[in-house]
Structure 1
Amino acid sequence: MKLPVAIHRARLGADEFRVVRPAQPLTRAVLIDHDRHLDAYLDQDAARNIAGLWMLAARSPRSLIHLPMRANHPPAREVPDDVGVQLDLVLLHHSLQFNPSHWKQVRGRLGPGRPQTVSLPEAEHDDVAVADYAARHYRENRDLFHQHLHAETLFMTGSAKVFRETARHFLDVARKGPGYVPIHPSYPHFCTELHSNDGILGDAREIHIEYCDQWNS
């Protein structure tokens, strides 16, 4: 996979932050906070790009991976009718120890960025990362996602391993969703989930990820 991105740098006091964004807006992608869980609705292109950004987070421990989505239009079909708030998403390695309370200032100082294309050959393999599912449930497992919410942004903090092993959820949506929906008209919903039983969530809520091919704009 060749992933076009924009590299931004923002200074806050003595600290400089490297922020990576997709080169083009992911217009057909929304992340909705429903309090007890989160829903992500994606078309094929958005799912593929997010998979790439997820993999990039695994190998970029000094970067904040920012996916601006909170202003996007929702999909055309009905979504759960309980009130939810649309969010942006930031992916980051736990070793960065970034304080989410600084995000609004950092975000406000980002310029147009420098274009770059990232090569992600691992995205072309069916087994993006082989997970040891039994080890995930050991008490010693530290490869867990933790979430924070600040400035209309969900922060997903994790290790390189947990990002690498969970990118497949988005690849599955991109690869299988478009073929599934047309042949299942009575239930045209292809989805996957970052689930609490998977041994990947620490202080974090489940994220339901669904393919959507029809959008309001």
Structure 2
Amino acid sequence: MRRMKLPVTIHQARLGPAEFKVIRPAEPPVRAVLLDRDRSLDTYLDQDAAYLIGGLWLLAASSPRSLVHLPLRGNRAPARGLPEAGTRQLDLVLLHHSLQFAPARWKELRARLGPGRPQTVTLTVPGPELTGGSSTEEGARHHRENRDLFHQHLHAETLFMTGSAKVFRATAPHFLDVARHGPGYVAAHPRHAHFCTEFHSTEGVLGAAREIHVEYCDRWSPRG
């Protein structure tokens, strides 16, 4: 295991009698996009973005009373995986199911967020040898009464990933593995430079949720 220091901004805003805390990365990734392709969701990112999003996944696991918001919609597209007609770019919000936040209120809450206050959080990042689950854990995820599942909602051009602390911790390696291995694999296989992972329906972590394809990209289209 190693420690990751993650600079964030903490925002607080009130909706009626309730006050909500929203956490954003101090510097959102530039080379990262989340695309809604109707039947599936595609994420393209570089190494820095993969580490950052893996860190935010771990932060969501340890922050059950907060919404973790990652602004992505304004980012340029990768050189491969360009969005076709009808594809939407999305922002991302991670939240614990116990917060019971209604995504329909997100646009109003987002509009009330100020500049926030800076803070640095320290996260424990599992090493490569600890990113897999045991066969017992894998079997438990498929149990019909398992509640450690992701559920997704789309609202205000934002994908909401709602889950438990356990499922956020269990799936953070999707991004950490891309950060650790993507650059080396692409450099060694220039003719087949495709390194990816996936939140797959057979993984036992998706409830009312679509599959998510996560791909490393080292080439990005010019801005503009």
Q: TM-score, normalised by structure 2?
A: 0.93
Supply the distance in 2 between the matched residues of 1:164 and 1:202 (Cα, whole angstroms): 16
Q: Check conservation: 1:34, 1:82, Cα contact below 8 A.
A: no
Tell me what 1:88 maps to: 91
Once residues 121 and 100 of structure 1 are traced to their aligned partners in structure 2, the CA distance between those partners, rounded to angstroms, is 29
Cα-to-partner distance string for 1:52-107 (whole Å, 9 max, x where unaligned): 00001011100000000011100123436463100000000000000001000110
Check conservation: 1:129, 1:164, Cα contact below 8 A: no
Q: Alpha carbons of 1:109 and 1:129: their partners in 2 closer, same or farther (altered >3 Å)?
A: farther
Aligned residue in 2 for 1:138: 143
Contact 1:51 1:170 in 2 (8 A): yes
Contact 1:52/1:123 (8 A) holds in 2: no
Report sequence identity in percent.
68
CA RMSD of aligned residues (A): 1.4
Cα deviations across residues 86-139 of structure 1 (Å, max 9, x unaligned)?
Answer: 000000000000000100011011111111111112345641474511111111
Paired with 1:111 and 1:123, the residues of 2 have a C-alpha distance of 33
Give SS of 1:5's match: strand
Structure 2 residue corresponding to 1:18, chosen from 15, 18, 21: 21
**Bigger shift: residues 80-89 or 141-150:** 80-89
2:12–2:116 Cα contact (<8 Å) kept: yes
- TM-score, normalisation: structure 1: 0.96
- 1:53 aligned partner: 56
Structure-2 change in CA distance of 1:2 and 1:124 (3 Å): farther
Counterpart of 2:123 (choices 120, 135, 139) is 120
State the alpha-carbon separation in 1 of the partners of residues 132 and 68 from structure 2. Answer: 20
Give ranges in structure 1 of 5+ residues lacking alignment. none
Alignment CA distance shift 1:73-1:62 (3 Å): same
Give the 3-state SS of the residue equivalent to 1:186 in structure 2. Answer: helix
Which residues of structure 2 form unaligned runs of 5+?
A: none
State whether structure 2 residue 219 is matched by structure 1 residue 195.
no
